[in-house]
Chains A and B, each alone.
Chain A
């Protein structure tokens, strides 16, 4: 099911993850979130941007503790935990935030 943003069509996999990582734009992330009923705020973007930076360096989404630590450093200790991340991304920060960030879905026993 491809996604259409600003008149351009982008290919996604069965679960709506962007097929081609390099095609990603913030507008695509916003459109994906909107489809799932989420309005992306600055708080969401802090996470999404970190995911993209981390992915660029390591070719994988960050582990949950890497993510919570980084967010805690940036936004304060009270936000450096998965409870905060689940409030932002109720379907799981790993999977939902990765989707909006245009990254592949983490798979395995997670």
Chain B
């Protein structure tokens, strides 16, 4: 299957022995000049990259107080060392969060602290944990800052709350600013700016795809559930990851959203201009890029004249939406203030369930025993609904409302301690398959526990990246690629559409054929 070894799933997860340099060879493809320039970055490595990179560190530390604080306050206590899935899966000590931070921290120390400057001039910067910025250091950055999915699990265990994700984002922005960008993220961002979504699905393809879904659902249920596009004056704008249009099991989730909207009797639409919930601007740490992408959603909402914005199942989109959208692209005073701006599709469905407005036949999902994978950006980067921990409780409540069999994975691998799927933060690309597979190890161990102990057959998620990543990596660990399902796929299976033709009528239809 591949030219690396899949780690073995252990009965009891263990902290592995160190293998220095085990992943030093891992490097994603570099973005071509045209994609760099589209985002306002230099096309290739600048001649004076070193000076520019040092300058950029200064710029970032003054713009983001958090970056400077995180670089200053680490006391090397070691609490984070065994918390990163990439360290646990690769044994490479540079994948310990503290070591990953230190790749940038040592350069920051050299050029921005008194001790670093002093001992640097004496030629012994390492005496105070500082280091010169060299090409080797830059190469290390490129390698190891693309072995971080910005999942923030380490920050939960850090007594100071140091967030390695912010360090990774800063490092990627520094690299972009000197002309070294990652192909996967930056090409995708180019497509969002030109076409409107990560996949590059133009409007006619989108319309054709949605029309096909309407036919499929009608054939399946006898109900004309609509999947509207660019409908002016609709009440709700649904913004969802473009993978929902394109891939499995994502599309089954999208089918589910449509059925929920149909049953709720609300008018809704998607937008071909803002046909992407995801915002890779966050992954590359570029505020300007993130803002450009977010403003598309604002423009679509205004142009279509909607009253509410609902986000589909996408992890980092929800972090950007819940935590940053208002300051990035707000104010949203043109929307109906009676609803949260924005609202998560799980929240939308959950509220209808609470109000008794949705009916389910849970037995439709009886062939499965489910568990829920908390996606990192939802779990640790946002909330959901009006109560604390809603981001954990609401998706579980939705699953339990539509399924009879549900079991949680081990407590130290879920909710705020959830393990990343291994493909987040801009790593979901084939050229990083080794780190993706190895990084999935802790999640797979948690899954294996409930598969073996509780007969779990499937895991559900609310993130397009998680879904694609699991589809790819589950088979490496001996599980089925279709074990991963969308939460709204489960809703879709169980929901009873009140205007569905009665069973007798369907039967008589069949017999007349």
Contacts and interface: CB of A to CB of B under 8 A. Distances in A.
Contact of B216 (A58, A59, A65, A107): A65
Interface in A23-77: 57-60, 62-66, 69
Given A69-B212, A95-B430, A64 B248 contact: yes
A108 interface: yes
Interface in B184-210: 184, 187-188, 191, 197-202, 204-205, 208-209
A64 B251 contact: yes
Contacts of A69: 212, 216
B197 to A, nearest CB: 7
A82 interface: yes
Contacts of B160: none
A58 B468 contact: no
Interface string A8-20: 0000001100000
B247 A60 contact: no
Interface stretch (B103-111, B237-245, B302-310): B237-245
A65 B199 contact: no
Contacts of A109: 198, 241-243, 247, 250, 278, 314, 428, 464-465, 467-468
Contact of B199 (A57, A66, A86, A110): A110
Contacts of B431: 14-15
A23 B427 CA distance: 31
A24 B216 CA distance: 33
A2 interface: no
B251 A63 contact: yes
A60 B199 CA distance: 9
A65 B242 CA distance: 14
B213 interface: yes
Nearest to A104: B200
Interface string B211-252: 011001000000000000000000000000111011110110
A97 B183 CA distance: 22
Given A64-B247, A65-B213, A94-B247, A107 B205 contact: no
Contacts of B467: 109
A95 B428 CA distance: 14
A86 B472 CA distance: 12
Nearest to A105: B430
Contacts of B314: 109
Contacts of B248: 64-65, 82
A17 B364 CA distance: 42
Interface residues of A, number: 21
B251 A65 contact: yes
The listed residue with most B CB atoms (<10 A of its CB), out of A60, A108, A109, is A109
A110 B467 CA distance: 8
B429 to A, nearest CB: 8
A63 B201 CA distance: 9
A64 B202 contact: no
Contacts of B250: 109-110
B247 A59 contact: no
A88 to B, nearest CB: 15
B29 interface: yes
A64 B246 CA distance: 6
A63 B245 CA distance: 7
A66 B246 CA distance: 9
Contacts of B204: 57-58
A110 B29 contact: no
B212 A60 contact: no
B475 to A, nearest CB: 10
The listed residue with most B CB atoms (<10 A of its CB), out of A57, A64, A106, A108, is A108
B430 A108 contact: no
Contact of A106 (B199, B202, B251, B278): B199
A63 B209 contact: yes
Contact of A108 (B188, B202, B209): B188
A69 B209 CA distance: 11
Contacts of B430: 15, 95
B208 A108 contact: no
A58 B42 CA distance: 32
A64 B208 CA distance: 12
8 contacts: A58-B208, A60-B201, A63-B246, A64-B247, A65-B216, A66-B209, A107-B198, A110-B464
In the A-B complex, list the 7 residue pairs whose CB atoms are closest, starting with the nearest.
A108-B198, A109-B464, A58-B205, A108-B199, A109-B243, A110-B247, A63-B246
